[in-house]
Amino acid sequence: MKLVGTYVSPYARRVAAALVSCSIPYEHEDLNSYTNPERARELNPVGKVPVLILDDGERLIDSTAILDYITELVEPERALVPCAGPARRSVLRLSAISMTLCEQITAHYFEQQRPTAEPELLERYRVQVIGGLRALDEASGPAGPIGVKPLDIATISAVITVEYLARWYPELDGARIAPRLTSVAASLADDDAFARTRPPIT
């Protein structure tokens, strides 16, 4: 199979991290949909990454849908998402918070670049990011659910979000706001799932 999408994208990166964590081999096409929208539209009608191209040519889009497929490929004890019950709902909730955080971090970054950036909007994004970080922090630590092994999609998404924050919103002190979450991310930084998918700093 081939994963298409730049690891700068937290959505593509969390798919790659999940594949690595589950020991599923894959090819990687480093596609940025902003710089090459034509190629992105060839693969996905809405021109977004990630796209996972299966060996038979089927294309899966949207990171959540792709992660659901990856879960089908592994043994139940290595599932990225529990099959049912409160544990499943917790993992999905935390994963959703992480990905929403990434959306708000991105929105803050682009608003900040505008010559006529709106302070009220920037403050709104800041408050939303802080709220999300605190929610993830409450769920972080040795007892989890964020930080337990084998890695599930809640932990994968949270760690990637911490690194995404540091890259695109460095003026916000994530370690002060979410110390337990930051500690979990630091402890897992050298895990192959994150080390092999970390985008270079340019």
> Does residue 153 form part of some domain?
yes
Residues 69 and 108 in one domain: no
Q: Which helix (H) or strand (E) holds 120?
A: helix 119-138
Whether residue 135 contacts residue 99, with contact meaning beta carbons closer than 8 Å, is answered with no
C-alpha to C-alpha distance for 26 and 74, rounded to whole angstroms: 15
- The mean pLDDT of the chain is 96
Last residue of a domain, one of 35, 59, 78: 78
Which residues span the domain enclosing 19? Answer: 2-78
> Does residue 200 form part of some domain?
no
Structure tokens at 195: 């080390």
61: left (phi over 0), alpha (psi -120 to 50) or beta: beta
What's the pLDDT tens digit per position in 41-67?
A: 999 999 999 999 999 999 999 999 999
Residues 90 and 190 in one domain: yes
Confidence category of residue 202, pLDDT binned at 50, 70, 90: low
**How many residues in the chain?**
202
